[in-house]
Structure formats: structure tokens, C-alpha cells
Structure 1
């Protein structure tokens, strides 16, 4: 795997390849993909890309059609793997990364007709695809990060998801609490806080993600009249089994 991040041209190619997903599926765009990959990386367990790909290809997790083009899939997967590797390196080396952020002009903001989106601050509109991808990762693996019980993890998650339209009174209350404690004034401030939140989650879950379970293996029991395992040639009862 290449150790270089994607170029601007390759990000455009990745977005185009995602749009070419066959079978009438509903794939992510490149900005949403970035949030989804970040959501994978901060899970308390290492999630194989094969386990995550169906969520990238379709919002309903429908499989690719059997007649998909292998060359298309190989190219797309290679670009995703490189971006995933770069995000991991950035989080490990500096605890931060450069997310893909929508560039919204004043006309686009003014012409928004969806009430839930129109109510969002401009900075949240810019980060909405990333936050949506991150939320998809939470929903895709509900027994992992979403069940992580540390208070710091819940706060960091809320700081990312506040860029999505709230769906109920509980979410509105959480967003209001976060906005009061950590107010934002611009896209730059919002990006900085989002990146910090992802980095904090990564640091919190890292010990669980790379935890190695030590298994104890019991040695088989040796009878008193069996040869001693030390290799002396004596019976166990006359050697290391002597009482």
C-alpha cells in the first residue's frame, strides 16, 4: 500500500468512482466517506475494510451486484485504503488531520429550502457530510463506539454530531448544551473542534483497540508414576513430584 495521501485529482477520481457504484445503490460522496473512515478508526476494535465497504456503497447496506466491474472495485478500494491509512498516520503522529469540508457560497446558503438544513449554522452545513459519515459508522457498528461508556467519549461524539440536524428534543437539548459550553463562530473553529474531538476519541479508544488478551494454557497433569517432564528419566513421584 502506498504511504502517500491522495492528491486533489485522486480525491476527484474517488468521488467519481463512488458515483459510478452500480446496481442503483446509494453510495457515499467523498466528504461523507471521510467522516465514515474517521468513525471507523476511533472504534474500540480494529474494523476490517471488508466489513465496512457495504456501508460505503449503499445507505441501506445493500450488496454490490454480482456483475460489478472488478477493475472499478480494485481502483476504488485502493484509493479508500490510502485515505484510511493517511488518516490513521495523522491521528497517530499528530492527533489531527485535514478533513474534507464542503465549500458553500452565500447563494447556496440563501437558497437552501430544507427547513432542518436551513436552521443549521453555516459552519455545520459545511461539516454536515463529514458528521453524517461519522454517524453512519456509529450506526453500522452499534456494539462498539456507541456503547463506549466513558463520559469524555460521549462528549466528543456530541461535538461531532452537533453538525447534523437534531431529530428530537433530546438531541436538541444535547446540541444546546454543547453549543453553550463550546460555542463556534466560523467554519475554521468548527473544523478545529471536530478534529480535536476525533483525536480525543482516538486516544480514549486506543488502549482497547490494541489490547492483547493473554491466554493461560494449563500444562497437562502428570501422574505420579509417569516420567518426570524435566527429562531426568525418573518417575515424577521420585523427582519433581516428590513430596
Structure 2
């Protein structure tokens, strides 16, 4: 397995500052949200290609792509994001128990508490890319393991569930649960994980059954090569 170097502190800061800069839309992901997003993609039920997930880093609007200074800058930032993803993938491949979500911290009543909401929001964005495939986990023995991420990351939760996340101390406790649970979620999907489904684009127009056969025989397609295909 080829191991790329993890992001250096400077590279991490460069990516962080770019995502926060005015050349990205207000909806662009921050580093903690991006880390949650990449984690869901890395451990989920299906392989998702960068061409699908990368545009959403900049925001849900297709017109939200960054205002690049030049091609070199674009290549640099994309490379940093891909290496950031690679770090996540390698951690799960080599040592899932060492995985650490990229959480923010804040002060509350004299204590330093974890604020995992941005990370969870990003994770849930990754789940939404394959929402139907993720449904299976809710009927499994590990359903409770993903519930804290749902509580903090989903756009809407049930009214009776709000009391579970209405206090920073409760949220801090959920953050610790999530850190412990993510490796188990990874292990759940590992034997079930499907490869990427590639859409094959037809380069030539489809031939109708009643069209002239493209082989040049002069016969209708259904009575020539179409009959052979059938």
C-alpha cells in the first residue's frame, strides 16, 4: 500500500485558510465539516468517486466553485483535499481505533467542552450522498452507534429528541460517544461495502429496431444485426 505523507501543519493551515477565504462561498465546508464529510464517504456502504463528492465541498450550489487565482492554485488545493481524504482512509485501513474526529472546542461555564456539530453535519452530508444504502444500518445491531451523529448532524430531528442535544454538556458527551463508535461503524460496513458504479456513456446514438442497420446491409436493424443481438 502506498502511503502518502499526511498534511503538514502548514498545509493544513493553508487548506483551512482557503476554505475560510472570500474566494469560497459562504456555504463552503470548514475543515471540521470536511473531515466529517470525508469520514462518512470513507467508511460508508459504497465507494464514491471524487468527481461526485468533491463539488459539494464548495457548497450545494453548482455555481459555488472557488474563484481560483490560477490553475496551479486549483491543483494545489484539490491535492490537499485528496491527501486529507487519504489520511482518513489510511487510518481506517491501518488502525481504526486511532481515528480521531476533527472537533472544535469551546468554553462553557469555565470548562473546555467539545463542539462536534460541524463535524457531524459534514458526516451527515456524506451519508446523504447514499441515503438509501445507509438505511440498512438503522435495522442492524449497530443502529445505536450512529444515532448520536444523526442527533447532531441531521437537518431535522424529532421534537422529543431535542432534549438530548439542548445542553453543551450533553453534546460533549455525545461527541465522546461518536469518537468511540466510528470504528465500529466502519467495521459494520467493511464486509458489505460495494465498489463504485461507473456510468458508461454511449458514444454513438442508439439504433432503433426499425432503423436501417448501421452495418450497411440495407436491411432493417431488427432483421439484421439487431436479430443477432437478440
Q: TM-score range by the shorter chain?
A: 0.5 to 0.7
Superposed CA deviations along residues 197-237 of structure 1, whole A, max 9, x for unmatched, are 2111111111122579xxxxxxxxxxxxxxxxxxxxxxxxx
Q: 1:202 aligns with which of 161, 177, 186?
A: 186
Which runs of no fewer than 5 residues in structure 2 stay unpaired? 197-230
Superposed CA deviations along residues 115-170 of structure 1, whole A, max 9, x for unmatched, are xxxxxx943xx111111111111223222224545423422211223335864325
**Higher share in strand:** 2
Which runs of no fewer than 5 residues in structure 1 stay unpaired? 110-120, 177-183, 213-243
Question: Structure 2: how far apart are the matches of 1:199 and 1:101?
Answer: 16
* RMSD, aligned CA: 3.4
Question: Structure 2: how far apart are the matches of 1:66 and 1:27?
Answer: 9
Identify if the C-alpha distance between structure 1 residues 191 and 56 changes in structure 2 by more than 3 Å, giving closer, same or farther.
same
Deviation at 1:47, TM superposition (A): 0.8
Question: TM-score, normalization: structure 1?
Answer: 0.64
Question: TM-score, normalization: structure 2?
Answer: 0.67
Query: Does 99-108 or 33-42 show the bigger shift?
Result: 99-108
Q: Which residue of 2 aligns with 1:140?
A: 129
Deviation at 1:22, TM superposition (A): 4.1
> 1:138, 1:146 within 8 Å by CA — same for their partners in 2?
no
Q: 2:105 aligns with which of 99, 103, 106?
A: 103
Superposed CA deviations along residues 14-57 of structure 1, whole A, max 9, x for unmatched, are 11122347474520000110111111112111111221012111
Identify if the C-alpha distance between structure 1 residues 89 and 150 changes in structure 2 by more than 3 Å, giving closer, same or farther.
farther
Q: Which residue of 2 aligns with 1:169?
A: 159
Larger Rg: 1
Question: Structure 1: how far apart are the matches of 2:84 and 2:133?
Answer: 22
Identify if the C-alpha distance between structure 1 residues 197 and 45 changes in structure 2 by more than 3 Å, giving closer, same or farther.
same
